[in-house]
Structure 1
Amino acid sequence: MTRMNTPIKNILPSEFDALVKGLGQPSFRSKQLFEWLYGKGAQSYEEMTNLPAKFRAQLAQEHPLHNVEVLEHAISSDGTHKMILQYHDGVCVETVAIPSRNGERLTVCFSTQAGCPMACAFCATGKEGLSRNLFAGEIVDQVLTVQRLLGRRVSNVVGMGQGEPFLNYDNVLAALRIMNSDKGLGIGARHICISTCGIIPGIERFSHEPEQFTLAVSLHSASQATRLQLMPKTNSFPLPELKSSLARYIEITNRRVTFEYIMIDNVNDKESNLQELLQFCKGLLCHVNLIPINAVPESPFKPSKQQTIQKWIDVTAKHGIETTLRDSRGSDIAGACGQLKNTFTQQHS
């Protein structure tokens, strides 16, 4: 049973039936409530005109509907939008909206935690530490906010913002299902991707979910020593165990895995690193996404040389591994991979 004064966005949709029953309403009210919150993105209970006035008053009193506040909205020269959003308790996250070059798609890169506990060496968010997990409704609110501000439907979502999604598994999965639901945001499962640093228990759970959500793994090195240098908190999930887990995921789901690989000059882009990546990918249904690292203040890392990146693309292709170079977007507004950081709160504190 949900406690009184629990914000409505902090309550899982699976708990809505018990909620409305506890307030003396018939069960179909839970579906109406869900549609208002997530299908129509209602900003207040007053908008929910097909709910009885007494019920709306009870909800407003017992389960307040908080809206996220947009503290900052920057627009890149390439059309990317970066937003700093603040929740009712003062916690902030960053959300990035990326229109495709041809304008047909709108992708939202959403955050799953406020901050991140993984402390990856190349990531600005990791330097901030973890504030708290986000609730499912708070995660979905990021996408709803983008749709409202940009006045268009979001077609694709990726959980590649702040946080490690599989350390907030239940809320993240609930959010994905809200986004996927026909009564919610109606985003196709194959257009919903979650990226993990390689949390094996999360991968195991994800492999048994019925929806065809897609999986990306932040690999960044297929050498255990180099990976620990870049991603020290992955030491509990060594590469051989990660590969075995991914092989099981592929076998169960028959879906390929995308490996995210940030290219850092003279750190993880040497010939030995390339050979290690080829060996790691061997036998896996996978796709490699190479990402030249973006500048982060006070970081010693520099992007790999263009000829190095091209060599990696050519060599992996010869080995039958589909490899792409990510079209990095939003770097001039610190919205690109590795740059996400709540600068607003620092500038205005």
Structure 2
Amino acid sequence: MSIITPAAAVAAGQDTIRAEARSLDTLAEALAGELKEPFVHAARLLAETKGRVIVSGMGKSGHIARKIAATLASTGTPAQFVHPAEASHGDLGMIVESDCVLAISRSGETRELSDMLYHCRRIHVPIIGMTFKAGSSLAAASTAALVLPECGEASEDAPAPTISTTMCLALGDALAVALIKARGFTAEHFGAIHPGGKLGAALKRVRDIMRVGQSDPLVSPELSVPEAMQAMSVGGIGAAGVVEGGKLIGIITDGDLRRKLTPEMFARRARDIMTANPKTIAPDAPIADAIAIMNEKRITLLFAVEDGRPVGVVHMHDLLAAGVR
């Protein structure tokens, strides 16, 4: 069994990463040169697609194709991966006239892609070919041929797809981001199709999780402290907003009651024990902003206000329940 030394492992890793970084610099330069026109053509084809973008490739190119399809779909461009071998056995039915195909092949001669390319030409589906060979069958069949600059692979001993797949992945990301810019796709749009997990939660808005109605207790500044305490218990958040003329002027929390607990307190008014000018947030603000304010101010809730008028309240428990940390 071969044993690799730490020095040899690190050296191989660094050589690989640096080689891939150089190849990406070369690709970026090509986008301003020989790749500029086909890249713009490809981006326009994708932007004008009425149906879905069908991304396909065989072997390692297939893995890259799956990732590109996922990136496009998650950024507002309907896309799916179709395996080229399965396409020849019925999955060609997934490709219709309103679609666009992005096919990836390092050599441009991947046999399994031939039936898909023929099908696309037959029903007039535009083809974007991503390859390293300008004279290949894929380049010739493509409506827009993205011919990447040849940079070899990371290992000459066993030239497994490394640099080439990195370049294809980067070019796919470049197309996706170009479409994001062209369509004005925003974080709000992104959040709408990423509702699950921490990322989706952080992209939600305060209005999506804030409490309203009885869960948002509001009291008059002239209300007695016992009555204010009763309102706080009904709300279940350990606090109540103090409102005058429809505007939020203060907040009473459990902490305020503990700090000001005296026999005389129960004869006083809400105005006397409230914290004036509390920190607030807009209902359309991202949840991430709410948790940032709570962490900075070391508080556990925020009233959401519009033009100074309270419309809801968000508690730290709501943020935790939504999956934000």
Q: Same fold (TM over 0.5)?
A: no
* Range of TM-score over shorter length: under 0.3
Structure possessing the higher relative contact order (Cα contacts under 8 Å, 6 or more residues apart) = 1
Tell me which protein shows more helix as a share of its residues. 2
| TM-score (norm: length of structure 1) | 0.20
| TM-score (norm: length of structure 2) | 0.21
Choose 1 or 2 for highest CA Rg.
2
